[in-house]
């Protein structure tokens, strides 16, 4: 019975610490949660500078944030869960020196990006083939290119 009490209290302390850290990140530092949604925060990693520079010149998409395209936006809970997962993964890769200079979407990232393209451009997409990735035709939307949207 002693080991059960020990693990119970360790688990309880762990949960309290996790909640405290989460509350601090969300509400502690002035506007840290909001700040981490801004494009200049995303470009803070040197490997994202080129993507930021391309985005800033993209025209219509310049008015939206990185998280509008690259995080799930169907509801706030899913959005913040994936923001935490992706942010932690990016921080670990960056600070451990394992981040690649060649930024590529993961399979999950492709699905999220496609869903967000369709979410914003639903009327237009409903009139065309929505089985292809939007950025296959609209190459100018990708961060490697800048300027107006290019099509085939």
80-88: average pLDDT: 83
Highest mean pLDDT among 11-15, 60-64, 144-148: 11-15
12 and 64, same domain (yes or no): no
18 and 46, same domain (yes or no): no
- In this prediction, residue 71 carries a pLDDT of 92
Selected residue with higher pLDDT from 107 and 53? 107
6 and 73, same domain (yes or no): no
Selected residue with higher pLDDT from 25 and 2? 25
- In this prediction, residue 144 carries a pLDDT of 56
- In this prediction, residue 72 carries a pLDDT of 94
107 and 128, same domain (yes or no): yes
Is residue 95 scored above 90 in pLDDT? no
* CB-based contact 110:133 (threshold 8 Å): yes
Domain that holds residue 75: 36-141
Residue 71 counted as domain residue: yes
| Number of domain units in the chain | 2
Is residue 149 scored above 60 in pLDDT? no
74-83: average pLDDT: 87
Half-sphere exposure of 146 (CA within 13 A, CB side): 9
Q: What is the pLDDT of residues 25-73, one digit of tens each?
A: 666 666 777 778 888 888 877 677 777 877 777 666 778 888 998 999 9
């Amino acid at each position: 019975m002693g080991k059960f009490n020990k693990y119970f209290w360790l688990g309880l302390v762990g949960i309290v610490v996790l909640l405290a850290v989460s509350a601090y990140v969300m509400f502690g530092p002035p506007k840290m949660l909001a700040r981490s949604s801004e494009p200049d925060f995303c470009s803070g990693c040197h490997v994202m500078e080129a993507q930021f520079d391309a985005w800033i010149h993209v025209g219509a998409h310049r008015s939206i944030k990185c998280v509008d395209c690259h995080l799930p936006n169907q509801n706030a809970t899913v959005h913040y869960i994936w923001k935490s997962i992706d942010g932690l993964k990016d921080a670990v890769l960056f600070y451990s020196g394992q981040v690649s200079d060649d930024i590529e979407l993961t399979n999950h990232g492709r699905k999220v990006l496609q869903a967000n393209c369709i979410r914003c451009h639903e009327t237009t997409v409903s009139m065309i083939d929505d089985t292809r990735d939007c950025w296959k035709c609209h190459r100018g939307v990708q961060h490697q290119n800048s300027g107006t949207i290019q099509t085939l």
